[in-house]
Amino acid sequence: MSTETNDAPAAVLARVDELRALIKGYDAQYYLEDASDIGDAEYDALKDELLTLEEQHPELIKADSPTQTVGTAPSALFAAVTHRTPMMSLDKVTTLEEILSWGARLQKLSAPEDGSPLVCEPKIDGLSISLTYENGRLTRGATRGDGRVGEDVTPNVRTVAAIPGQLALAQSEIPEVLEVRGEVYLPVSAFEELNRRQATAGLRSFSNPRNAAAGSLRQKDPGITAGRALGAFFYQVDGVRGLATQSGSLDLLRRAGLPVNPETTVVPNIGAVFAYCRDLESRRHELGYEIDGVVVKVEDRALHVRLGATSHAPRWAVAYKFPPEEQSTRLEDILVSIGRTGRATPFAKLQPVRIAGSVVGLASLHNEDQVRLKDVRPGDTVVVRKAGDVIPEVVGPVLSARPPGSEPWSFPKTCPSCASRFVRLDGESDTYCVNAHCPAQRVQRIVHFSSRGAMDIEGLGEQRVAQFVAAGLLSDAADCYHLQVPDLIGLEGFGELSAMNLVAAIDDSRSKPLANLLTALGIRHVGGTVAAALASTFGDLDRLMSASEEELASVEGIGGVIAASLVRYFGSEDNRAMIERLRAGGVQFGAAVGPQLSQTLIGKSIVVTGTLSGLSREEAEAAIIGRGGKSPGSVSAKTTAVVVGDSPGAAKVTKAEALGVRVLDEQEFVKLLETGELP
């Protein structure tokens, strides 16, 4: 038991002990098991709390407090390596204002007149590595370990393609011993690929690229490391005299053939750091590797010496950490939602939690196997991740916080909407409700029909569709066009005005282009792009419906799978009946140009490229289709002619010439439309 001091009450002492134990536990997990039970932000919060308490009660500071040490003792799996100089940590800040205070402190300590240049570098979210080159040859690779003693991972490091075995410097420039430090990371694409492989092999997936990188480098068998596509960036050099600046160090690293991060930039003063941080944060998910902040360093290395370091971090650098994208919260329940195709998707109902600027209350769990692999259970505390525009995801459970007696979750046997038995086919990961009359499926099909990119009916979202289906007003999309104002008035939430608005919005949708209607039908494999290709080729729904499978498959961008899916869809009695009810409801089936046009272009295929002066591209295509022709998006041997306007697609013109297809100007095109003859 710790003895109480004069200053600190027992409660503070107890909390300090508890914080130290918690942090050490998480450190061991992070550094030795390449795993983490808590998000970064929560870890930092624990550490901040401990730092504050130690600041208020300096008599409690102990040499082995996690605030005084870096990392954790190295694993016994590897030989120990004592670093020639300790591998330090960085002080962290989480707001731009704090960067300013750091800058002000710097200025006070080093007193440069108008601030000094700084180097901004991405803070790579990997694991730190130290490499030793003797006479230009790589002789050692070591992890950070506890900062003083690391792990010897030389054979593993040798398998990393980004790390040269031999420095690329001129002989005269090669020091006897050169130590470089940097970060090994796993690119996001390699991380996703690795997790796919883990899943196929029935192995637990890595929760993030950092853990995966650490797990890949810290392997007893370097053959495993070799298969993991690790990358590295370096930012620090030891053992070279006469390096006056941080950017000079980076230049040397580059010349030596070591990868240096391309986003690294020298800025004139602390004011310019803000713009760098904001810009990098806005692009963080486009880089292809994970970063968790920006490291700001003083450019002038003479100042590094003057500024020195605290027990664990240099004063000449600071880490600005981006707001966290992971948080833990309570998993209240696991529910199953039914999509328009009947697919049953499990999702997490969470105690709402704020992550990266928005509140997250729901997160997808994808399918039955994913839930089993992650083994998340109602009542668990789980780590939730929301990165950029990506849909929030449950990373995994915090096992240490699992309530006793909890059981693995099992997928329900029946559909929560219609109670019919779920079906999961052998070898498939998805589970389906196969009842075509399932109300939940009906709702989703109509919601899809009404959505943006489809019929785009304002005011007809999920809630209302569910309300109308429950009230017996809608059973499929065609019913929308038979809804009348009196049907709606009196329903909960409807007055005369809102009823009229909705009926008007439905009316507007009757004249949506064919591509939207095709998208709205929700035919398997027919999304916006395929729908647009079909619409511009066939021009109206009746012609499309009467096309043969071969005819469909010959359309550019449409292969056998899509053609078969179309034939299957239009072959169904139910679907044809629904389409007839859409027609009866006044929905236009294309034929944008009136039927009175003479059908001069039957059997002809005319490609338009570039801007015409008399009509838009859409009008030109409509004019072709309206006369019985086709207007595909690309040139083939079957093309009758290519119409070339201003700034045409060079590839189309070249291909037409190569295939001997006639090239027409706008005037000749107008003649062709009238006569059907090639001029």
Interface with ligand IVH (CB under 6 A): 88-90, 121, 123-124, 128, 183, 235, 295, 314, 317, 319
- Find the shortest distance in angstroms from Cβ 69 to ligand IVH: 13
Q: How far is CA 206 from CA 191, 195, 198, 382, 600, in A?
A: 8, 6, 8, 15, 62
User: How many residues would you count in the chain?
Assistant: 679
Report the relative pairing of strands 662-664 and 641-644 from DSSP bridges: parallel
Of the candidates 401, 266, 224, the residue with the CA atom closest to the CA atom of residue 215: 224
Query: Would you say 117 or 628 has its CB closer to ligand IVH?
Result: 117
Cβ neighbours of residue 251 under 8 Å, at least 6 residues apart?
none
- Find the shortest distance in angstroms from Cβ 383 to ligand IVH: 20
- Cα separation of 478 and 638, whole Å? 37
Query: Would you say 123 or 374 has its CB closer to ligand IVH?
Result: 123
Query: Would you say 180 or 319 has its CB closer to ligand IVH?
Result: 319
Of the candidates 653, 654, 606, the residue with the CA atom closest to the CA atom of residue 633: 606
| CA angle at 390 for the pair 389 and 393, rounded to the nearest 5° | 140
- Find the shortest distance in angstroms from Cβ 321 to ligand IVH: 9
Query: Would you say 306 or 354 has its CB closer to ligand IVH?
Result: 306
Q: How far is CA 612 from CA 6, 597, 645, 655, in A?
A: 88, 21, 5, 20
- Find the shortest distance in angstroms from Cβ 263 to ligand IVH: 10
Q: Do residues 566 and 524 touch, judged by C-beta distance below 8 A?
A: no
User: Helices (DSSP H) in 477-616: which residue ranges?
Assistant: 485-488, 496-509, 514-521, 528-538, 541-546, 549-553, 560-571, 573-584
Of the candidates 87, 101, 103, the residue with the CA atom closest to the CA atom of residue 298: 103
Q: What is the helix, strand, coil percentage profile of the chain, to 5?
A: 40, 20, 40
- Find the shortest distance in angstroms from Cβ 465 to ligand IVH: 49
Number of helices followed by number of strands (H, E) in the chain: 24, 21
Residues 432-464 as b/e (b if ≥16 CB within 10 A, e otherwise) read bbebeebbbbbbbbbbbbbbeebbbbeebeeeb
Query: Would you say 133 or 235 has its CB closer to ligand IVH?
Result: 235
| Amino acid identity at 110 | S
- Find the shortest distance in angstroms from Cβ 79 to ligand IVH: 21
User: Closest residue to ligand IVH, Cβ-based?
Assistant: 128
- Find the shortest distance in angstroms from Cβ 89 to ligand IVH: 5
Quote the tokens at residue 54: 């130690």
Of the candidates 89, 130, 123, 47, the residue with the CA atom closest to the CA atom of residue 310: 89
- Find the shortest distance in angstroms from Cβ 323 to ligand IVH: 16
- Cα separation of 353 and 592, whole Å? 49
Query: Would you say 12 or 73 has its CB closer to ligand IVH?
Result: 73
Residues labelled as active-site residues: 123
Query: Would you say 45 or 335 has its CB closer to ligand IVH?
Result: 45
Query: Would you say 124 or 363 has its CB closer to ligand IVH?
Result: 124
